[in-house]
Amino acid sequence: MGAVCGCISDPVDYEGEVNLYFFELHRAVGKGAFGKVRVVEHKRTKKLYALKYIDKAKCIRQKAMANVIQERRLLEEIDHAYIVNLRFAFQDDENCFFVLDLMLGGDLRFHLERKGGLGEEAVRLWVAELALGLEYLHRQRIIHRDIKPDNILLDSNGHAHLTDFNVAIHYSERRMHTSVAGSMAYMAPEVVGKKGYTWCVDWWSLGVTAWELLFHKRPFDGRSAEKITHSILKDPLKYPDNVTQLCSPEGVSALCSFIERNPNRRLGCRPDGQGIEDVKSHPWFASIDWQKLENKEVPSPYVPDTNKANFDVSHELDEFLMVEKPLTHSKRKVNPDLEKMKPELRQLEDQFKVYDFTTSNRTTYYPLNEQIIASKQGTSGSDPTVYDQSQTGTLIPTATFVERSQAGSPLPQDWNHRSVDIPRVPLPQPPRA
């Protein structure tokens, strides 16, 4: 009770460094590996945001400090209409905080599980919106590596936004990445096959996500990591019997083009930033006004009901029942002795920097982020660190994990110079399941 009284009686210095006292805490709307996501209200501006907070002790136990620091750095570089952008970052003695754009429409996993397939018109718009977000990220030399319905949030108007950059990295212009990261069912064959990969993997994951949103099942699945890997590498695409009722031939063609095992022929993957032109010119997107889309002026055919909770209400119930320690405003220790801190806490103190979008200029940390990969202490280079939940929101059926990076394979010598023509895929007669 003392912490609450202190919060009411102590004036907030809005000219000082941003901290939790700047915000009123509202309901919990998501749960992650190290903390929760809550709606917060900036006391001075009255603007609502999403607060993602990460328990330092849990983070240290899971050896995930590097991922938290890297996500914080990457988010500072990003500002785009179809991405959940960082607005503030800070920490107290127990938690690291990300204050992000609030998306009241919920994540696409939530809607998919309640409605089944979400309809071609809506999925086409979301894929187009996310394509613009991906083009932006790749121009920033960022690979998301974990695109899936759980990590796509809708705003109150039904527009799609990419979130959760916990395993995102900068890609190298010179060498391919070999570390395995993301959620297995959405991983590109060059990731699970450990052949070396670059930004093209995000377009594969977008295609797999679109498939799931349309058909309410994933194209590649299995009861074990080995079976999923085999499916991704070898299995042909099998469409549901009612595919013609769920998706147009142009949509089927787009899915085939995104879920193309050869990255040089994959839709969106032509080098030198030209891949987005292939996406824009694909017949499935013929009705899209891309200029209006960039300005967020294309109405969504699927608008979530924001009068209802577009999230799992059990997140809020956990705190109400005191299953977990509730988040409270608390003052930091004055002049902490960094020398006496655990090295991991000292790392967070030093590298999880304060950010305030009203006063800070966005900056790039490239290539500083490139080699920051989380790994469990005492494991070999091939043992994955598994996170059972998305830090941003709902429980997920396929875990997000990161494997320690191995020595990269060099890119093909002509990778950045070769113009790869993606042949116009004939509209296929889909095989039956």
Q: Which residues are annotated as a binding site for ATP?
A: 52
Which 3-state string (H, E, C) describes the chain? CHHHHHHHHCCCCCCCCCCHHHEEEEEEEEECCCCEEEEEEECCCCCEEEEEEEEHHHHHHCCCHHHHHHHHHHHHHCCCCCECCEEEEEECCCEEEEEEECCCCEEHHHHHHHHCCCCHHHHHHHHHHHHHHHHHHHHCCEECCCCCHHHEEECCCCCEEECCCCCCEECCCCECECCCEEEHHHCCHHHHCCCCECCCHHHHHHHHHHHHHHHCCCCCCCCCHHHHHHHHHHCCCCECCCHHHHCCHHHHHHHHHHCCCCCCCCCCCCCCCCHHHHHHHCHHHCCCCHHHHHCCCCCCCCCCCCCCCCCCCHHHHHHHCCCCCCCCCCCCCCCCCHHHCCHHHHHHHHHCCCEECCCCCCCCCCCCCCCCCCCCCCCCCCCCEEEEECCCCCEEEEEEEECCCCCCCECCCCCCCCCCCCCCCCCCCCCEC
Nearest to 7 by CA among 47, 43, 34: 43
Q: Which residues contact 89 (CB under 8 A, 6 or more apart)?
A: 72, 75, 76, 96, 97, 98, 99, 352, 353, 354, 355
Residue 231: exposed, middle, or buried by beta-carbon count in 10 A (0-12, 13-18, 19+)? middle
Specify whether 10 is catalytic.
no
Question: Can you say how many angstroms the Cα of residue 402 is from the centroid of all Cα atoms in its chain?
Answer: 14
Contact 125, 389 (CB under 8 A): no
Where is the binding site, in residues?
52
Catalytic residue among 55, 92, 107, 146: 146
* 78, 147, 317, 355, 372 from 202: Cα distances, Å: 17, 7, 35, 27, 19
Tokens of 299: 């109405």
Residues recognised as catalytic: 146
